[in-house]
A and B are shown apart, each in its own frame.
With several copies, the nearest count.
Chain A
């Protein structure tokens, strides 16, 4: 199935675009997606942490993805 990735901060620099589509096997949860990204983009392994948001909420590893989901990659935040 196809999901859409949206990126900010250093994740945008690692992926090289503010958004992109990704083809993943079914089933695929957030934890699986994290593994795929770390394999495809070694730079993600060097980050302090990496989180994901769907519908503007953080989601944990076990969260199951669906066709067409928009997943936002949240690298370590540093506001304030």
Chain B
């Protein structure tokens, strides 16, 4: 099962967990990103996520390919949300199931690290007195 979605509605941890559950799985690792209430001690009010959706799905699909090839995973579920998010809401969930747990940790961490580098999704932080496109400038 390869469950890749970009959604405009709230994400759900249980859904991603259930998508990768399997009697042959020894372990499931789930990473849940959360919108933090501050960046470098500046108070974040809201976040806006924007995506070039067809390419983002394609890039996430490449990540999934690597998980199957390199870590022999059983299933993967990657959901990313776009639109306006409030503090504490979930922009991303990645769930991976594998026969042995070590591979699940490694694969899940690779997936989130790579997603943050290659997938065309952009985050704008809204502060009380301004906005910033995250990572845009050095």
Answer whether A and B touch in the complex at a CB cut-off of 8 Å: yes
A interface residues with partner B (beta carbon < 8 Å): 6, 8-10, 13, 46-48, 53, 56-58, 72, 74-80
Which bucket holds chain B's interface residue count? 20 to 34
Please give, as numbers and ranges, the residues of chain B lying within 8 Å of A76 by CB-CB distance: 135-136
Given contacts A53-B52, A80-B115, A75 and B92 within 8 Å (CB-CB): no
Q: Is B116 an interface residue (CB 8 A)?
A: yes
The answer to whether A74 touches B120 (Cβ under 8 A) is yes
B55 touches A57 (CB 8 A): yes
Measured between beta carbons, the chain A residues less than 8 angstroms from B122 are: 8-10, 75, 77-79
Give the most central of A13, A57, A77: most B CB within 10 Å. A77
B121 and A79 form a contact (CB under 8 A)? yes
**Contacts A10-B136, A79-B91 given: A72-B52 contact, CB under 8 Å?**
yes
Most B-side CB within 10 Å, residue of A8, A47, A48 = A8
B33 within 8 A of A: yes
- Measured in the bound complex, the distance between the Cα atoms of B122 and A13 in whole Å is 13
Provide the B101-138 mask, 1 if CB < 8 A to any CB of A, else 0. 00000000000100111111111100000000111111
Complex contact B133–A75 (CB within 8 A): yes
Q: Give the shortest distance, in Å, between B64 (CB) and chain A (any CB).
A: 15
The distance from the CB of A37 to the nearest CB of chain B, in whole angstroms, is 15
Nearest chain B CB to A55 CB, angstrom units: 9
In this complex, the member of A56, A72, A74 whose beta carbon has the largest number of chain B beta carbons within 10 angstroms is A56
- Given A9-B124, A77-B120, 4 other A-B contacts at CB below 8 A? A9-B133, A77-B116, A79-B119, A79-B123
State the CA gap A37–B94 with chains docked (Å).
36
Asked whether B43 is an interface residue with its Cβ less than 8 Å from the other chain, the reply is no
* Smallest CB gap from A12: residue in B: B50
In the assembled complex, B54 has its CB within 8 A of some CB on chain A: yes
Max count, chain A CB within 10 A of own CB: residue among B52, B54, B136: B136
Q: B49 an interface residue at 8 Å Cβ cutoff?
A: yes
Known: A8-B52, A57-B55. A79 touches B116 (CB 8 A): yes
In-complex Cβ contact of A80 among B33, B133, B138 (8 A)? B33
